[in-house]
Amino acid sequence: MTKTDKLLCVLYALVAIACLIGTQWVLVDYMIGGGSTADALAATVDGHAATFVTIDLLGVAVAATAFMIVDGRRNRVPLLWLYVVLVFVVAVSVAFPLYLIARTRTLSTSKQ
């Protein structure tokens, strides 16, 4: 891998780690506070700002998933299914940077 590829992977990893900590921290805090899954889903459209963010993130999640599937198959990225599952089980903000790490590593080894 080139130095640029390594730096990109570090950047992607930092984003994934920060988003994993942030999203899960808020989720756990919400659940400890007595919030249910139904309440959480209802809160995603409770007001214009929440609805905007929900629609925006769903659009990004669908686009990122489509990209990962098409690009991952084309470039033979290993464990592609895992990144797709992570989009909907953890968060797109975690799954997509992890996919980009795998993609960068795959493409760098295929150049050699």
Cβ atoms < 10 Å from Cβ of 53: 13
Residue 17 has pLDDT above 70, yes or no: yes
pLDDT at 41: 81
CA 70, distance to chain mean position in Å, is 16
pLDDT at 112: 63
Contact, 47 vs 55, CB < 8 A? Answer: no
| Structural domain spans, the chain | 3-111
Q: What is the pLDDT of residues 74-89, one digit of tens each?
A: 999 999 999 999 999 9
Tell me, yes or no, if the pTM score tops 0.75. yes
